[in-house]
Amino acid sequence: MEWDSLVDWLLSRMTLEEKLGQLFMLGFSGTEPDAGIREWIERCHLGNVVLFAGNLVDPPQVRRLTDELQALARKAQQAGKAQASGTVEEGGKVAEVGAPVAGPGAGFIPLFIAADQEGGIVVRLTRGATVFPGNMALGATRDPELARRAAAVMGREMRAMGIQFNLAPVLDVNCNPRNPVIGVRSYGEDPMLVAELGVAQIEGYQKFVVATAKHFPGHGDTAVDSHVARPVVGHGRERLAAVELVPFRRAIAAGVGAIMTAHLSVPAIEPDPRLPATLSRRIVTGLLREELGYDGIIITDSLGMRGVSAEYDMVEASLLALEAGCDILCASSHTYYGTFVYDAVLAAVRAGRISEERIEESARRVLRAKARFGLLEEGGLARGDGRAGAWTRAGAWSGTSAAAAVTLAEVGSPEHQALAQEVARRAMTQVKGPAALPAETKTVIVIEFSAQAQTGVEDLRLERGTAQGQMQGQARGQAEGAAQSQAQGAACGPLAAALQELLGQRKSPPRPGTQVLSLVLPLNPDPNLRQRILSTLEGFGGATLVPGGVAAVVATLDAVRNAGQADLIGELTASGIPVWVVSLRNPYELSSLGEAAERVSFLVAYSPQPVSLAAAAEVLTGVLIPTGRLPITLP
C-alpha cells in the first residue's frame, strides 16, 4: 500500500508500550481534558479519543478541545525517550538513521478523535453544526446520492472541528419492530437498501473522515439493548448471509475504514454462550477477517456496556477482545476503564498470553488508517525537506487536500442546513389519513413529550426545544403543572412553534385566525395526568362543541415503549377530537395505538430534530406534499 513504508518505519522505532497505546480509544467528562485522559495520553501513549455531547459546546470550542488533545499527544511524545529515525528509499528500505520521531521539531503521531455523528437520535455535535434526520429518514427517500451528500457534509464539518473518525453509519438491518436500540438508526428492513445507502454514506464520509460500519455481525433483529443486557441473534448461517451480512460485505468492498463489533451472541457462529461477538475469535477473526476478507480496523463497541461487562471485568474483556482479533478497544469513559487496564494488558503481553506480534498487527492497522486519512501528514510525518519528504506519496489519499482545506466557517452553513432540510422534507411519509389539517381548523392543540435519552447510546440531552410545555386559557394550574398559561407567541414546544410560524401567529398567515396551543408532557404520562389534560381540553371546548374547529397533533416519541402516549391518543380520539399523529421515532408505534389507529392520521418524520419538525409542520399545513416511503413493514 502507498503508506506501508512509512508505517513500517514508525513501528520499527516504537516501543511495545507505544504500540499498545494505539489500541485504546477512551472518553472523558467535561469540556476540557481532565486528569484521567491526560494520564492516558502522557503515561499510556493513548492513540485514540472518543467525544460525547457532554464534551462539546459549539464549533469553536470543539476545535479548541481537539487542538488541545493533539497538543497533549505531541508534548507527551516529545517528552518521551528519543527514538531512532531514518529515511525511506524508493524501494521501501531504511536508508539511514536520523532525528527522533517525537523529538523537538520532529513530527508526531496524532490522535484519532472520534464521535458518533449518525444523525437523527444519535448525534454528538448539535449546537452550531448541521444535524441531519438520520438513517431511516434517508431510507424513506430511497436516494443514494442524497445519502452520499449528507454524509459528506457531516464528514466535512467533523473534520473542520478536528474530528477525523465517525462511528457511523449503522448497517444493521432493522427487521424487528420491537428492537429498542436500532430502529430509526437503520436505513430499513431491506438488506439491499441498507447496503446501497450505507455504501453511499461511507463514500461521503470518507472524503473527510474514517467511516465505521456497525454493529457487526448485525444488531437489527434483536429485542434487547446491548447497553443493558446481551441480545441473542438466533438465525442460522444461511439467513445471516442473506440478511445481516449483506451490508457489511458491501461496505468491505467499498473500503470502509473501520467496522465496529456488537455485544451480542450468535450461536450459529459462536456456540459458546459466554462469548459475545466482540470477544469471539470465530466471529472477529474467522468470519470478519478470514471469510469476509476484511483487513481494516476492527473496533469494539464500548466495553462498559452490559452486553460484555455483566459477565467480564474490563481487563478480561480487553484481553479476550484482543485475542478475538479486535484492533481498538473502545470505552466511553476512563472512570471505569482506567489506566489499570493498560497496565494489565501490557503485563499479559510480557507474560506471553498475547504476543508482541499480535499488538503490532493491530497498531499497524491503526497507523495505516492514520496515514490513509491524512493524520500523519498533519503530524508532520509525511512532508518536509530531506528525509521526511521521501515519504510523500502522490495520491496516497484523494481526500487529504480536501480535508486540510475545510474551515470552521463551513460548519452549520446555510448550504449545509438547506441539505439537511431537503432530507427531512423528502423523508416525510404519509401512512394513513389526510396529511394536512382541515382548512376550517381554528384551533390546533399540539401535544409533545419531553425529549430524553431512551437508549444507552443516546445522550441525556436531546436538543429539540423547550423541556416543559405551556397551554393557553383554562389550562393554568392543570395537569400537574405540565400545562401552563401561554401568552400568544410565548415559548412553546418545538413542533408547535413551527406550526405557529406557518399558520400565521408570527408571520403573514396562509390561514388567518388559526391559533396553536402547546402542551409538552412527560415521556410516559400516567392516567391521572392524562385525565386532567382531557378535562382541561373539554373545558376549553372540544370538537363536540365546535365541529371541525379543533384538531389535535400528537408528536410521539416511541409510543411502543411509552404506553402513556398511545393511551392518550386513544382517549383523545374517543372524546371526538380529530387527531394527527406525527411519529418522531419508530413508525412501528402505529401498531401500539389499538382501535385509535383506525381513526387517526399517521405521518412519519423519523426524527425529533428541528429540520424534521419543520418538515412535519409544512406537511400539516399543506405547504409540503409528503413523498417518502416507509422502508419497513408495519405489523
At 22, is the secondary structure helix, strand, or coil? Answer: coil
| Cα distance between residue 551 and residue 329, in whole Å | 52
Check: CB of residue 138 under 8 Å from CB of residue 423. yes
How open is the CA angle 474-478-481, to the nearest 5 degrees? 125
Quote the cell numbers at residue 253: 468492498
| List 227, 263, 334, 416, catalytic entry | 227
| Rounded Cα distance, 168 and 488, in Å | 42
CB 83 within 8 A of CB 77: no
What's the number of CA atoms in the CB half-sphere (13 Å) around residue 549? 10
CA dist., res. 584 & res. 562, Å (int): 13
CA distances from 628 to 201, 422, 423, 584, 604 (A): 19, 12, 10, 14, 9
Q: Beta 94-98 vs 165-166: how paired, if at all?
A: unpaired
Query: What would the grid cell of residue 512 be?
Result: 388567518
Rg (Cα) of the chain, in Å, rounded? Answer: 26
Among 517, 566, 523, 556, residue whose Cα is nearest residue 539: 517
Output the CA torsion sign for 19, 22, 28, 32: positive
What 8-state DSSP symbol labels residue 55?
G
- Asked if 143 is an active-site residue, the reply is no
All three cell numbers of 36: 484521567
Distance, CA of 335 to CA of 26 (rounded, Å): 10
The residue type of 140 is A
For 355, counting Cβ atoms within 10 Å of its Cβ (0-12 exposed, 13-18 middle, 19+ buried), the class is exposed
Angle at Cα 294 formed by Cα 157 and Cα 322, nearest 5°?
90
**Nearest to residue 370, comparing CAs of 86, 70, 53?**
70
| Nearest-angstrom CA–CA distance, 205 and 199 | 10
45 φ/ψ angles, rounded to the nearest 5 degrees: 60, 40
Give the Cα separation of 455 and 442 in Å (integer).
38
Residue 301 falls in the annotated catalytic set: yes
Distinct helix (H) and strand (E) counts, the chain: 21, 16
Q: Which of 301, 327, 459, 567 is catalytic?
A: 301
* 486 grid coordinates: 401561554
Sign of CA dihedral 85, 89, 92, 94: negative
Could you list the active site residues? 227, 301
